[in-house]
Amino acid sequence: MRLLVTGGAGFIGSHLVERLLNDGHEVRLLDSFVTGQRSNIDHFEAAEVVEGDIQSFERVHNACRGREVVLHQAALPSVPRSIADPLMTNVVNVTGTLNVLLAARDNGVRRVVYASSSSVYGANLALPKVETLQPRPISPYSVSKLAAEGYCRAFSNVYGLESVVLRYFNIFGPRQNPWSQYSAVVPRFVTAALEGRAPVIFGDGEQSRDFTFVENVVEANVLAMSAPGVAGEVFNIACGGRVTLNRMVRTLSEIVGSGMTPEYGPPRNGDVVHSMADVGHARRLLGYEPRVSFEEGLRRTVAAAAERMPVGMLAR
């Protein structure tokens, strides 16, 4: 199959490109390399790399030419970043997604698989999260992801462009950047554990997330590329459980073999307190099953981070 992966040099995108190449697909990736890393894709000799931003309709249009399916991973992530710069978050996540959908429509692409976020549920406190819940986004980031979902549904209804929306729940794994001020919690905690530093928890640490190893997300995208009868559908992609940040620290301590005492700070604006997915819809229509548990995924993530970390930075 001829595929385009937007954001293909990013954390999730590069894992997806790797799987697609291994499965024998013809893969083109589009990335601006603002948050994506060339080191993530240097070893993908078979992939066609197009440098460009999804803010450019012309660039996206050219990248979509001759593709059958687009796997749209490109985004400007992070709730704190969106609070600091809501305009740029909107431009990339909403206008950028609209560019992708227009380019896909105009080039005769059959299906777009869109990477959305569990953050769209926001202030809706019901657990577990099912796709029929009323979204109540509480940050500019979550608003941008929900708006892009709306465009996906509209293009399915109005133009006949098949769209499938995958709502990711707290994805983690190798290649995730721990150094940005907007980094996700898992890479920051893993790096702190390996360096012997105290991780910083915003809040009391009893907030919980449905942490999902990246391999599970890749599998969901592969299934969503060709599953029949799912145009216009929305799916939760997660493990279907929840882990508190305090429990994560305890698990990390066991994995690295040293005690960790976190530092606690005030809660952050825009963060939800608890999140857990119901993945029954994805099981029924996509055949999705989370293959890697939280604990196993964390072990793999620690091992990969330790390999990439300079020896002098590892805790002794």
- What are the pLDDT digits (tens) for 38-84? 999 999 989 999 999 999 999 999 999 999 999 999 999 999 999 99
Q: Which residue has the tokens 């991780």?
A: 199
Give the domains, in start order, of the chain with CATH numbers. 2-171+213-237 (3.40.50.720), 173-209+241-276+293-313 (3.90.25.10)
Q: Which residues are catalytic?
A: 141
Place 314 in a pLDDT band, splitting at 50, 70 and 90: low
- DSSP designation for 203: S
Cβ(113)–Cβ(71) below 8 Å = yes
What the block records as the tokens of 62 is 């050219």
pTM of the model: 0.94
Would you report the helix, strand and coil content of the chain in percent, each value rounded to 5? Answer: 45, 15, 40
- DSSP designation for 202: E
Find all residues with CB under 8 Å of 275, minimum gap 6, and list them.
118, 121, 127, 129, 169, 170, 208, 209, 210, 242
Convert the pLDDT of each residue in 288-304 to its tens digit: 999 999 999 999 999 99
Convert the pLDDT of each residue in 127-168 to its tens digit: 999 999 999 999 999 999 999 999 999 999 999 999 999 999
Q: What is the mean pLDDT of residues 188-192?
A: 93
Find all residues with CB under 8 Å of 8, minimum gap 6, and list them.
14, 16, 17, 27, 29, 30, 31, 36, 41, 47, 49, 73
pLDDT above 70 for 32: yes
